[in-house]
């Protein structure tokens, strides 16, 4: 089931949470010897919707009403909301500048293979 949320987006208050800038990301990447990337497949769907949000995102088809239980793709504020959520999981790692998170893409930067493996294990322990 797919919903079109363009009309809803016109009434949505923008979420101005910052998404990492490409220049800063490229600077961090240029200093790394080893880079590991991970994609949080369908990451937006990890966000459980509030009851009010479920009502706003209803899909009405003939005699049926369907409600999303989790955030679907296509919502105007989804990228910023997701960025905020994922950043709260990794505040220490982000402050040390070896972790880059761009919405649902997680990037580890390391100087050595051993530190890369250690950092990867640390990240996986938090997200699994």
> Helix, strand, coil shares of the chain as percentages rounded to 5?
45, 20, 40
- 60-80 pLDDT, tens per residue? 888 899 888 998 888 888 889
* Model confidence, pTM: 0.79
Domain 19-47+75-127, CATH class in plain words: alpha beta
- 15-60 pLDDT, tens per residue? 889 888 888 889 889 989 999 999 988 888 888 899 988 888 888 8
Could you tell me if residue 42 is left (phi over 0), alpha (psi between -120 and 50 degrees) or otherwise beta? left
């Amino acid at each position: 089931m797919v919903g079109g949320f363009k009309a809803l987006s016109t009434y949505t208050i923008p979420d101005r949470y910052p998404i990492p800038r490409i220049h800063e990301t490229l600077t961090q990447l240029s200093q790394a010897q080893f880079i590991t990337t991970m994609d949080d497949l369908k990451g937006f769907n990890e966000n459980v919707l509030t009851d009010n949000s479920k009502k706003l995102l209803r899909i009405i088809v003939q005699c049926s009403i369907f409600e999303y239980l989790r955030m679907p793709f296509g919502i105007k504020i989804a990228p910023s909301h997701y960025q905020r959520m994922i950043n709260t999981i990794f505040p220490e790692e982000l402050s040390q500048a070896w972790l880059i998170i761009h919405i649902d893409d997680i990037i580890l930067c390391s100087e050595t293979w051993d530190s890369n493996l250690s950092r990867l294990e640390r990240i996986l322990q938090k997200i699994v």
